[in-house]
């Protein structure tokens, strides 16, 4: 499902290439597996998540996501893979000109699902994140936590094979965080591979599970 | 707050927020200006082609014969003392198989032609005008031989071929045509560049949205399609407005050119409702310009966006 071997990443290319942000990362996650991705701020968690989301290609090493070797895959093979990956971004990355409803509907529309099914699925998702009343609001008219819940709904609505969540509880209160962790557990039980990045050790302590620990771009603890 | 259905649909079509990023003022305006110029260049090219064709077949075989002292009797022909110089020339012309038609201009025709120079009241009759004969020759006729034969029966008779002028005019017409086509090519290239610049600006201002949609698995084709749809709509609108603006100008120009395009004499009345006028190819091509503008917009937007997207993983 996910396999990394000696993966290295640096931002920029050529003369503008920066330092290596990720160095010699090797680990694997079986289909249907779960991992916490822990580490202090700036360790490279979001960068690793971006690699797994296929928003970046590794500069060296082998990266296999959903059974496809990303280093050798053709560029036009990637969109179909991305449609099977759900991602909650640390900074939400909602589209500001679209309503909450349309933001959540976006992955389904990109995947070309019929509009009737989209309405039903998005409606259900918005009910679950308790935003039915605010479906017409644009992101700027929502609180931080509400935006995060829209981002979560967007990541989950397409029933992805791989769910990546980058600090998904950062703006949630404890009750909502608990609900989210239950949802992630539920999806995981149904077969979705889940990776959750966080620098919140208390959250991990409350919901124990296998974890990867990054420090300054190096994987220091796998298990 | 009830959702209006059309509002919902419009937002759905505009996932990338291009309605704002690619405004509906500047691009259509520029494309309208470009289409207007294209229409004029096209009309110029077509008119130059039509004029040169018209001159070619109208004048290539035409010769103007001038007979001085037309009413004087022929002196050298003792056996036909009654015959005037004009009659002698006409007789020679009629018996020549290379002459397909000849027409002697009447005194009235001549005074009509001379009126601009001499005035209506001029005593044209008092002037010793030569007789003027319009002669049409068959193809490959030997002009020099005919001129010599005419001078033989009426010394001083001159035959002026229009061939030289036709040659000069068709070179001029061809040059005009070449310039018009060149202008058309330049307009098309500039239009494509304008679309490219507008598309790049749109890409830059919607970079975040494009990256998000790309990250969610949208293909290059889908994203380029969003841009191309918007740009096609705007350029076709510009093309329509430009073509519309060209109509009155082309209308006036065709009016001015009409006397050169037909063999009509002033007596044939205004060319306004002339069927030939509406059949001018420009009126067939003009309605196609919005489609051409839209096509240029579509292709340029597709190429620009796909190229830009290749920088994304
Ligand atoms: N687009 C970028 N260009 C250059 N450097 C970057 C970029 N994004 C992140 N970095 C650098 O990469 C390193 C890792 O950043 P990253 O966002 O992956 O950390 P993180 O572990 O997610 O931190 P946090 O817990 O604060 O979210 C940091 O030093 C950061 O400055
Ligand atoms: Mg981060």
Whether B98 has its CB under 8 Å from any CB of chain A: the answer is: no
User: Same domain for B89 and B220?
Assistant: no
Which two three-digit tokens encode residue B149?
Answer: 């034969």
Q: Does the distance separating the beta carbons of B14 and A95 come in below 8 Å?
A: no
Last residue in a domain, options B125, B156, B187: B156
Whether A93 has its CB under 8 Å from any CB of chain B: the answer is: yes
User: Same domain for B172 and B305?
Assistant: yes
User: Same domain for B16 and B79?
Assistant: no
Closest residue by Cα to atom 6, ligand 1, is A11
Could you give the CA distance from residue A20 to residue A221 in angstroms, rounded to a whole number?
Answer: 19
User: Mean pLDDT, to the nearest integer, of A111-126?
Assistant: 94
Question: In chain B, what percentage of residues exceed pLDDT 70?
Answer: 78
Last residue in a domain, options B137, B156, B175: B156
Q: Which of A50, A110, A126 to mutate against chain B (most B CBs within 10 Å)?
A: A110
B158-161 β-sheet, strand order? B99-104, B131-137, B62-67, B158-161
pTM: 0.79
User: Same domain for B151 and B170?
Assistant: no
pLDDT at B272: 39
User: Mean pLDDT, to the nearest integer, of B48-74?
Assistant: 75
pLDDT at B173: 81
Instruction: For A9-23, write each residue's pLDDT tens digit.
Output: 999 888 888 898 999
Whether B218 has its CB under 8 Å from any CB of chain A: the answer is: yes
User: Same domain for B114 and B149?
Assistant: yes
Query: A42, A48, A168: which to mutate for ligand 1, most atoms within 8 A of CB?
Result: A42
A48 Cα nearest atom in ligand 1: 18
Bridge partner list, A8: A60
Last residue in a domain, options B156, B182, B216: B156
Whether B25 has its CB under 8 Å from any CB of chain A: the answer is: no
Task: For residue B282, tell me if it sits in a domain.
Answer: yes
User: Same domain for B277 and B299?
Assistant: yes
pLDDT at B5: 47
Q: Which of A110, A7, A12, A116 is nearest to A65 (CA)?
A: A7
Angle at B264 between CA B86 and CA B133, to 5 degrees: 10
Strands (DSSP E) along chain B, which ranges?
A: 62-67, 99-104, 131-137, 158-161
Closest residue by Cα to atom 29, ligand 1, is A42
User: Same domain for B196 and B264?
Assistant: yes
User: Same domain for B279 and B194?
Assistant: yes
Q: Does the distance separating the beta carbons of A80 and B217 come in below 8 Å?
A: yes
User: Same domain for B228 and B253?
Assistant: yes
Nearest ligand to residue A42 Cα: 1
User: Same domain for B197 and B240?
Assistant: yes
Q: Does the distance separating the beta carbons of B11 and A111 come in below 8 Å?
A: no
- Sort out which chain B residues have CB atoms less than 8 A from A71's CB and list them: none
Most confident of A164-168, B50-54, B132-136, B155-159: A164-168
Task: For residue B196, tell me if it sits in a domain.
Answer: yes
User: Same domain for B130 and B53?
Assistant: no
User: Same domain for B231 and B291?
Assistant: yes
Q: Which domain holds residue B34?
A: 2-57+166-310
Could you give the CA distance from residue A210 to residue A222 in angstroms, rounded to a whole number?
Answer: 8
Q: Which of B214, B215, B230 to mutate against chain A (most A CBs within 10 Å)?
A: B215
Task: For residue B63, tell me if it sits in a domain.
Answer: no
pLDDT at B74: 78
Q: Which residues surround ligand 2, an ion (CB under 5 A)?
A: A 45-46, 90
The structural domain count of chain B equals 2
């Amino acid at each position: 499902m996910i396999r990394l071997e000696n993966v290295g990443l640096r931002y920029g290319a050529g003369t503008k290439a920066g330092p290596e942000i990720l160095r010699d990362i090797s680990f694997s996650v079986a289909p249907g597996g779960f991992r916490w991705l822990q580490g202090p701020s700036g360790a490279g968690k979001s960068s690793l998540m971006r690699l797994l989301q296929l928003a970046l290609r590794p500069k060296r090493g082998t990266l296999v996501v959903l059974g496809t070797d990303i280093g050798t895959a053709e560029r036009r093979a990637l969109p179909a893979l991305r449609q099977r990956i759900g991602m909650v971004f640390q900074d939400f990355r909602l589209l500001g000109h679209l309503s909450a409803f349309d933001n959540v509907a976006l992955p389904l529309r990109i995947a070309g699902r019929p509009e009737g099914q989209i309405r039903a699925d998005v409606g259900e998702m918005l009910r679950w994140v308790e935003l039915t009343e605010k479906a017409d609001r644009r992101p700027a008219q929502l609180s931080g936590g509400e935006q995060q819940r829209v981002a979560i709904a967007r990541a989950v609505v397409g029933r992805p094979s791989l769910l990546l969540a980058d600090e998904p509880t950062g703006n949630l209160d404890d009750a909502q965080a608990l609900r989210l962790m239950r949802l992630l557990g539920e999806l995981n039980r149904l077969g979705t591979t889940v990776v959750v990045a966080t620098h919140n050790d208390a959250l991990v302590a409350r919901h124990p599970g296998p974890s990867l620990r990054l420090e300054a771009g190096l994987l220091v603890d796998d298990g | 707050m009830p959702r209006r259905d059309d509002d919902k649909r419009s937002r759905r079509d505009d996932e990338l927020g291009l309605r704002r990023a690619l405004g509906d003022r500047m691009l259509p305006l520029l494309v309208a200006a470009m289409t207007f110029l294209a229409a004029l260049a096209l009309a110029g090219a077509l008119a130059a082609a039509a004029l040169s064709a018209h001159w070619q077949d109208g004048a290539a075989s035409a010769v103007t014969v001038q007979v001085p002292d037309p009413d004087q009797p022929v002196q050298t022909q003792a056996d036909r003392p009654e015959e005037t110089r004009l009659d002698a020339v006409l007789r020679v012309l009629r018996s020549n198989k290379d002459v397909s038609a000849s027409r002697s201009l009447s005194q009235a025709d001549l005074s009509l032609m001379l009126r601009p120079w001499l005035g209506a009241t001029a005593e044209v009759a008092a002037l010793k005008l030569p007789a003027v004969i319009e002669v049409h020759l068959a193809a490959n006729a030997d002009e020099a031989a005919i001129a010599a034969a005419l001078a033989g029966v009426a010394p001083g008779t001159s035959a002026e071929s229009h061939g030289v002028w036709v040659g000069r005019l068709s070179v001029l017409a061809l040059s005009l045509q070449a310039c018009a086509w060149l202008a058309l090519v330049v307009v098309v290239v500039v239009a494509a560049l304008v679309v490219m610049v507008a598309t790049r600006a749109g890409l830059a201002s919607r970079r975040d949205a494009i990256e998000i949609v790309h990250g969610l698995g949208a293909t290059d084709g889908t994203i380029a399609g969003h841009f191309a749809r918007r740009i096609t709509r705007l350029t076709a609108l510009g093309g329509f407005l430009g073509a519309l603006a060209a109509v009155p100008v082309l209308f006036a120009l065709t009016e001015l050119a009409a006397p050169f395009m037909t063999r009509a004499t002033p007596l044939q009345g205004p060319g306004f409702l002339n069927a030939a006028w509406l059949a001018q190819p420009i009126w067939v091509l003009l309605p196609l310009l919005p489609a051409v503008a839209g096509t240029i917009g579509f292709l340029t937007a597709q190429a620009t966006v796909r190229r830009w997207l290749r920088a994304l993983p």
